[in-house]
Amino acid sequence: MKKIYLLFTAIVIGSGANAQLTITKTANQPVAGDIVLRSDYDSTTAVAKATGTGMNWNFTNLTIGSFTETNTYTTVASTPAGSLFPTANVAVIRGNNDYEYYNNQTGSIAYAGMANTSNTSITTFANQATKLNWPTAFGNSNSDVFSGTEVTPTSTVNWNGTLSYTATGSGTVTMPDGSKHNNCLQVKTIITLTMTGSNTMTMTMINYEYYSSVRRYPIISIEYQTMKQGTVTNTGYDIKVDAAALTSVSKNVILNSDVVVYPNPAKDIVNVELPANTIAEKMEIMDVTGRIVLSIINSNSLNTSSITKGIYLLKVSSGNSTIQKQVIITE
């Protein structure tokens, strides 16, 4: 499977349980502190993309790959490049020093830009791309033009394009493990992008997102990419599945609301309080790349004085259950 680096990530949004799913700001805006694990999948046959009402989208033909990404939503101020995005009010850490920024407004949510602190690449939008309007239901659509600039130590590239979406389907999604999500909404997004300057190319991305009434974020996303540079054209695709939407995972996950992590931000120690005063069998702290930097067994406290300040993922295991929460370590 050939992949093209994703310049955009579709906003991950779900909704409350209604007769027909409606995406709303109150129920489904990205929230700092959320952590979403998305696994890479592949398929040797056509994947479900039919549009209309009363659909049955079956994804049992998908096979899991070897890559899982952790998307950690956080405050803009807590990110290294946050000051460069004054209109953004939520950020997502995508690992490997990649950050994306969003402007969550009363009636819509817009893509504000991105930063990569390892290669000092900053992309800001003078005209932001509206990703989705609040609310959105079956049949709703929108088209928005955007423009911005990507700056690196060695190049400057101008971005101009159009982002269009339509809520094209409603129905039932059958996950790769056979579990079913009823009352789902399919949103198709098309992004066309022209990049000019020190690097010139054109890109088209077609994204199908499937939103469940019981998840804030899409349970499955499928993106097709076409990139043309000079006379060379490359194509690729990505299929991502929300790990928590699978029965084999979600049935063993304690609700984050049932767990208290304190203090947060922390300096020298992180404590967890589990339901019924349960003792954690294991506590692990992972950095943004997924590397375990600290761990302890049979304890509800973990000494963090040995690690540098930053944003980490705390994973707590007890019996057949796990929870994951973002923690901020200060010096």
Residues 290 and 316 in one domain: yes
Query: What is the DSSP-derived secondary structure letter of residue 47?
Result: P
Residues 178 and 304 in one domain: no
Q: What pLDDT does residue 13 have? A: 35
Residues 71 and 214 in one domain: yes
Structural domain span for residue 97: 22-246
- Residue 3: inside a domain, yes or no? no
* Model confidence, pTM: 0.74
- Residue 9: inside a domain, yes or no? no
- Which of 195, 216, 246 corresponds to the end of one domain? 246
Question: DSSP assignment of 264-317, as one string?
Answer: SSBSSEEEEE-GGGPPPSEEEEE-TTS-EEEEEES-SEEE-TTS-SEEEEEEEE
Can you tell me the mean pLDDT for 179-202?
94
Please confirm whether the linkage preceding 263 is cis (ω < 30° from 0). yes
Residues 139 and 281 in one domain: no
Task: Using pLDDT thresholds of 50, 70 and 90, give the confidence band for residue 258.
Answer: low
Residues 241 and 260 in one domain: no
- Residue 2: inside a domain, yes or no? no
Residues 181 and 285 in one domain: no
Residues 151 and 288 in one domain: no
Query: In 42-67, which positions are buried (b, 16+ CB within 10 angstroms) versus exposed (e)?
Result: ebeeebbbeeeeebebbbeebebeee
Residues 300 and 228 in one domain: no
304-315 confidence digits (pLDDT tens): 989 988 888 888
Q: Name the helix (H) or strand (E) containing 193.
A: strand 180-197
CATH of the domain at 307: 2.60.40.3080
Q: Is the pLDDT of residue 140 over 90?
A: yes
- Residue 235: inside a domain, yes or no? yes
User: Which segments within 63-179 are labelled E, that is strand?
Assistant: 63-74, 90-95, 98-104, 108-116, 121-133, 136-137, 141-151, 156-174
Q: How many CB atoms lie within 10 A of CB 111?
A: 27
Domain count, the chain: 2
Residues 264 and 313 in one domain: yes
Distance (Å, whole) CA 99 – CA 224: 22
